[in-house]
Amino acid sequence: MPGWPESCEHAIVSRSVLIVDDHAVFRRVAWALLEAEGFAVVGEAADGETALTEAARLRPGLVLLDIQLPDLDGFEVAARLAGLADSPAVVLTSSRRPERAAVFVEERPHDQAVHHRRRLWLR
């Protein structure tokens, strides 16, 4: 695609997932869908601070992370997760204000764009 780097990092991540969203219904549906596809959902969180605590405790391979949380936004949580010794892959989700994702990618350095341009192979 135009504007993307020529190379792409490849990473293998575990199938363990932490779901972070402030809507309980979304967390329940995501949990059921992920487990039906063979993922091991290891926990959930309804806000950014809890997400950070749970990610450090549970060490998931992947965090499904809502952008708009009640305390920290998902971009801040993602940046802090990237600072963990064994940082998980992050998939950002949002049903509101999708334009914020484009602004985030433009404002952040390439290597902080939350696993930007990584192809993830799940084992």
95-120: average pLDDT? 44
Whether 3 maps to a domain, the answer reads no
Which residues constitute the domain of residue 110? 9-122
Domain count, the chain: 1
Whether 4 maps to a domain, the answer reads no
Whether 2 maps to a domain, the answer reads no
Whether 81 maps to a domain, the answer reads yes
Where is average pLDDT lowest: 21-30, 62-71, 97-106? 97-106
Report residue 26 as tokens.
């979304």
Query: What CATH number is associated with residue 101?
Result: 3.40.50.2300
Whether 1 maps to a domain, the answer reads no
Backbone phi, psi, residue 71, to 5°:
-110, -70
- What pLDDT is stored for residue 6 in this prediction? 54
- Whether residue 98 is predicted with pLDDT greater than 70 in this model: the reply is no
Question: CB of 48 within 8 A of CB of 72?
Answer: yes
Q: Which pLDDT band, with edges at 50, 70 and 90, does 14 fall under?
A: confident
Which residue matches tokens 């575990």? 14
Is this model's pTM higher than 0.85 or not? Answer: no
Give residue 36's identity as a one-letter amino acid code: A
